[in-house]
């Protein structure tokens, strides 16, 4: 990012500040996805939901047991529009966005957290903390875990809304720091569709929409590894911790802290 931010004048810095601010405002927690719930559904609804899950499980078994997901998010901080694409296969993770003309990719695979700039052909491979690697064994989908974060902060389900034939469960947490509200599909698989956040100290508000949830895709392991055309700087975890407060390590900031440092970091 150092080079292309200078080359873009203020555009690159502005774009990254928007994305970083948004991800801090509406964190995409690297926590397990909500478990499917069927309590309160009619018999037909429950059978339909169970059928969806069973079909997904069958696809997962045929792939060798690793669950796969895809979704994109759209956010509108101020007059900006930011779109991010997410994929996962078990604990493996990939995120892509384009800012100031640069395609920025984050990969998490095994012991490394990668940040890549495909336009400049540069990137960094940061060795993940032992805590983060250990969490892979129990963590579910590594994105879209806002409900867990809301509940861990003392939040609760506040209502169920209907839009046409679909129902959505709404969860909210409120504290001295602000407020987070999450809309989740009422049908299985239960996934977030909108996250709204208010930061009391600054008055900042953020809205993030999840679009196009898919699960049970066939995704090659190589999709979560960096291209051999990328020139990588390799950095040990302790070296990253030492350098990060003073300088940017790699072509872009670390955006998904839980996946590098471990849960609750």
CA pair distance 92, 222, nearest whole angstrom? 10
Distance (Å, rounded) from C-alpha 58 to C-alpha 130?
32
| Residue 160: pLDDT over 50 | yes
Terminal-to-terminal C-alpha distance of the chain = 24
Residues 6+ apart with CB under 8 A from 18: 77, 78, 80, 82
Residue 42: its pLDDT value, please? 46
Task: Tell the burial category of 161 from Cβ atoms under 10 Å away from its Cβ (0-12, 13-18, 19+).
Answer: exposed
In this structure, are residues 217 and 63 in contact, taking their beta carbons and an 8 Å threshold? no
pLDDT in tens, 87-114: 999 999 999 999 888 999 999 999 999 9
CA–CA gap between residue 93 and residue 40 (Å, rounded) = 34
Structural domains of the chain in order of their starting residue, each with its CATH number? 2-261 (2.50.20.10)
Higher pLDDT, 113 or 149: 113
CB atoms within 10 A of CB 40: 9
- For the chain, what percent of residues have pLDDT higher than 90? 63
Q: Count the neighbouring beta carbons within 10 Å of the beta carbon of residue 167.
A: 15
**18-31 pLDDT tens trace:** 455 444 444 343 33
Average of per-residue pLDDT across 48-62: 47
208, pLDDT greater than 80: yes
- Give the separation between CA 189 and CA 210, rounded to whole angstroms: 14
Q: Residue 222 — very low, low, confident or very high, per pLDDT cuts 50/70/90?
A: very high
The mean pLDDT of 113-122, rounded to a whole number, is 97
Q: Give the mean pLDDT of 253-264.
A: 93
- Average pLDDT rounded to a whole number, residues 198-206: 91
Res. 232: pLDDT tops 80:
yes
**pLDDT confidence of residue 48:** 47
């Amino acid at each position: 990012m150092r080079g292309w931010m200078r080359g873009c004048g203020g555009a690159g810095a502005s774009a990254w500040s928007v994305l970083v601010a948004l991800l801090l405002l509406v964190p995409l927690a690297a926590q397990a996805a909500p478990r499917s719930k069927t309590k309160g559904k009619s018999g037909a609804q429950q059978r339909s939901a169970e059928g969806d899950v069973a079909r997904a499980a069958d696809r997962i078994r045929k792939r060798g047991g690793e669950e796969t997901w895809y979704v994109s998010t759209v956010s509108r901080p101020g007059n900006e529009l930011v779109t991010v694409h997410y994929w996962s296969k078990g604990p493996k993770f990939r995120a892509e966005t384009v800012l100031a003309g640069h395609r920025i990719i984050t990969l998490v695979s095994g012991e490394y957290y990668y940040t890549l700039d495909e336009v400049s052909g540069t990137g960094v491979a940061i060795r993940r903390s032992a805590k983060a690697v250990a969490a892979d064994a129990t963590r579910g989908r590594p994105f879209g875990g806002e409900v867990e974060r809301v509940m861990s902060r003392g939040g609760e389900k506040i209502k169920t809304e209907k839009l046409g034939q679909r129902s959505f469960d709404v969860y909210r947490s409120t504290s001295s720091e602000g407020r987070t509200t999450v809309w989740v599909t009422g049908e299985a698989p239960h996934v977030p569709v909108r996250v709204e956040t208010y930061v009391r100290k600054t008055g900042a508000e953020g809205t993030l929409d999840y679009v196009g949830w898919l699960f049970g895709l066939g995704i090659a392991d190589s999709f979560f590894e960096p291209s051999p055309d990328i020139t990588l700087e390799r950095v040990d975890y302790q070296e990253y911790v030492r350098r990060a407060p003073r300088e940017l390590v790699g072509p872009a900031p670390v955006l998904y802290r839980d996946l590098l440092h471990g849960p609750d970091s």
